[in-house]
Chain A
């Protein structure tokens, strides 16, 4: 066990850190210190072990992006708008998770699994309330308005949520000590060990489970059928008795619940959150949704995974500073050749 922890500490310098978006939000001075500390990637940059470690890190990060991306893609599918406040819903999810976790730990003490489980449920529930409220207050009154109006309120909502959390919780970063430590060592050489931590396993397993459940919900249940019907033809859906407003609300609630899961995972994985994490994570997840083909659920999952991998590998082999440039460049290149994304449908004007 001690060896695992030692290894985890050793790995942090080269592997876990490159994927840490929070670092970007820090003041420039801190970033400089951080760069100086960084172990040069070429120490073990050519080994298979190093590659596999990056793969693990990339899939973990991609899972978080994928969960957020689903919220973007579903809302786009059903009402044709980009919900720019979704990244901040994710941030709210992370804050609710942190508060719930601290309160529950104080009450329940050592039962970590139970506390985490209840935290997850509480975060999903309360974040859903936020998602529902945002739609109800900021988007629904503008449903009949011109197309850009809800987009502008979405940006307004995003700014509002950031400032609301900044005022309510303060601008400083909120740390959470590591709760799930340790992991497996998959491979080891003299200079490098491939570490698969428990938290990474938890994130990937939970994401895969949620995505399977979610796919079933959309493909196999009456609720999912109503949701898809609204997406394809709202007027006809109403003619079959589907309550459009309710279905749109449910879409926002589902997206927010998944963002809350991503928020909790982010919190547990990086151990530090602030009011601004939603911005970059949101843009990355939005990029993932566009890359996969906006409106497509499998596309969002694939896009999330790809963005996570691109970012991680770029940080590992080239430069951390340009990892966002890499992710967004790949998006631009893909969109030049596949304008509707990897799994998206080409937009066909209805006659």
Chain B
């Protein structure tokens, strides 16, 4: 097997004196969809942000595409082929949809933005109708499409998605997950997905990781994890222990 696209080795991350990640190891190979599931406050989003260098890990190593990116500042990491649609979507509210998308392409060295625009509009035709509208006036589902679209504008090899289903109607959740699946199958995009919606995420993912209190406690194929009794109990059936 070839070297993984992203390798997280023994990463420790702190917020001040509070330790959020306690020696996390994660491996993402090219072409995979990886799901990271866990309860609120387990450290899932922290891991996403640590990969992007905000905050930087205090200990451990992160290697992307054969290059050690552990100590790089965020803006330099993000100019490589990594993109993130972060938790809470973080659309620029006073910029138009077009400007939001432009922001995605501008600093990643995209040579042909037109092609990326077409690519995003094909995936989310809705955005094309909203082009001149301000980001802050979009509905939640549209904002999520825009957040993913903005991340795709840089034509990344690795897409980090933090809770794309949060606060969306089931119909929209399916639409977003279908889009992720399509990107992965048709274009070979590697996706690292953080979800609380464990059922959908594990069904979609090739492999999954379970995080509890800043540590990875379980890993395995998506469907395998889905079948495990403790996963069902903790994340799928209302927290029965």
Give chain A's interface residues, CB within 8 Å of chain B.
Answer: 222, 225-226, 228-229, 232-233, 235-244
Contact = CB atoms under 8 A, between A and B. Distances in A.
A242 B75 contact: yes
B79 interface: yes
Contacts of A235: 54, 86, 90
22 contacts: A225-B95, A225-B106, A228-B94, A229-B92, A229-B95, A232-B93, A232-B94, A232-B95, A235-B86, A236-B90, A237-B103, A238-B78, A239-B78, A240-B108, A240-B150, A241-B75, A241-B76, A241-B78, A241-B106, A241-B108, A242-B75, A244-B75
A192 to B, nearest CB: 48
A240 B54 CA distance: 12
Given A241-B78, A241-B79, A226 B106 contact: yes
Contacts of B79: 241
Contacts of B108: 240-241
B102 interface: yes
Contacts of A226: 103, 106-107
Interface of B: 52, 54, 73-76, 78-79, 84, 86, 90, 92-95, 99, 102-104, 106-108, 150, 154
Contacts of B90: 233, 235-236, 239
Contacts of A236: 86, 90, 92
Contacts of B86: 235-236, 239
A233 B75 CA distance: 14
A235 B45 CA distance: 14
A146 to B, nearest CB: 14
Chief secondary structure at chain A's binding surface: helix
Contacts of B150: 240
A242 to B, nearest CB: 6
Contacts of A242: 75, 103, 107
B73 to A, nearest CB: 8
B99 A225 contact: yes
Closest 4 CB pairs of A and B: A241-B107, A236-B90, A238-B74, A241-B78
Nearest to A228: B95
Contacts of B78: 238-241
Given A240-B106, A241-B106, 8 more contacts: A225-B103, A228-B95, A228-B99, A232-B92, A237-B103, A239-B78, A240-B78, A241-B75
Contacts of A233: 90, 92
A319 to B, nearest CB: 42
Contacts of A238: 54, 74-75, 78
A325 B78 CA distance: 51
Contacts of A222: 102, 106
Contact of B74 (A225, A229, A232, A239): A239
Contacts of B104: 240
Contacts of A228: 92, 94-95, 99
Contacts of B54: 235, 238-239
Given A228-B94, A229-B95, A239 B103 contact: no
A239 B84 contact: yes
B95 A243 contact: no
Given A233-B90, A235-B90, A240 B95 contact: no
A236 B106 CA distance: 14
Nearest to A345: B94
Contacts of B94: 228, 232
Contacts of A225: 95, 99, 102-103, 106
A237 to B, nearest CB: 8
